[in-house]
Amino acid sequence: MEEQELNVEESLIEQLGLQSEYKLIKQVGRKRVYAHTVYYELEEPDYDEFVTEDDTPVDNIFSEIQQRLLIDPLHANKWTNRDFWASSNVGIYYAVNESCVVPDMFLSFDVKKPATWFDKKDKCYFTWLVGKAPDLVVEVISNKIGKEDQEKMEIYARMGVSYYILVDPYLHIYKERLNVYYLGKGQQYERLEAPNAFMEEVNLGIMIWEGLFEKEKAPWARWCTREGNVLLTGAERSEQEAQRAEQEAQRAEQEAQRAEQEAQRAEQEAQRAEQEAQRAEKEKLRAEKLLAQLRELGLSPEE
């Protein structure tokens, strides 16, 4: 039996001249399996060429407050044992020859912020230096031209960002204010419909909270627990602790007042008992005196 010839038809890899990068492992009929065996060693780029800040004010007031509301609670609560880097409005470079993308907020686990913040290569999130893409990205939609649901979504999927959250508080693009996506099969984002949009891999949920934050009422996006309890900001936690301390002080004052009242009642009872004892003593003395007088008169009350 003659040996089956492998090159029955030139493959696309061969047409592109990539045989040295992809090793042919096996062929079954007209199907071939290749192994990717190429390795790259990149020279350290010149970080002075990267734009790490341009001092251009691009955020509206709502987005600026919303960003802080997403960052602050992550540092004010004990919600994970993992190291994490959470920043807002910081550029992410995902390829040396590509422009950076600037999300409203990102969260990356098992990494730490650079120890020095003023070296050029420490001013942004360079994925090849950090060693991974962020695990979660949030974009706040403030108009209809930001393309957060198009170009940025494609970029984050290509980077491998597991969770992509689009907050559309005033319904510019979506019919819902909160839109959470999970990177599923085929590196395509799939909508997450779990209660409170709880994300198992990051141990966080997110919800729309209609309330007052920094004296402003709006449909804010807030982190929450699996049960739907919001993570408090540092200011909210301090206010809650102050209220709890005030309530404890009030309870302690009430207990002190009750103890004082009890002490006063006990004192009054003691005084009444003393008065009763004194009256009883007087009655006894009076009875003894009367008995003595009767005996002097030759009378005996016992007879």
pLDDT of residue 55: 57
In this predicted structure, what is the pLDDT of residue 9?
Answer: 62
- Tens of pLDDT, residue by residue over 34-84, are 665 555 455 678 777 777 776 565 568 888 999 999 999 999 999 999 999
- What is the spatial distance between Cα 246 and Cα 79, in angstroms, rounded to a whole number? 26
pLDDT greater than 90 at residue 242:
no
Quickly state the pLDDT bin for 5 (edges 50, 70, 90): very low
Domain boundaries, the chain: 1-39, 54-232
For residue 86, give the nearest of 57, 53, 110, 54 by alpha carbon: 110
Name residue, tokens 């190429």. 38
Question: Per CATH, the architecture of 54-232 is what?
Answer: Alpha-Beta Complex (3.90)
Q: What is the CA radius of gyration of the chain?
A: 39
In a 13 Å sphere around the CA of 261, the CA atoms on its Cβ side amount to: 6
281 versus 59: the higher-pLDDT residue is: 281
Q: How far apart (Å, rounded) are the C-alpha atoms in residues 20 and 6?
A: 17
Backbone angles phi, psi at 158, to 5 degrees: -65, -35
Q: How many CB atoms lie within 10 A of CB 274?
A: 10
Structure tokens at 89: 């409005």
User: What percent of the chain stands above pLDDT 90?
Assistant: 46
Prediction pTM value: 0.69
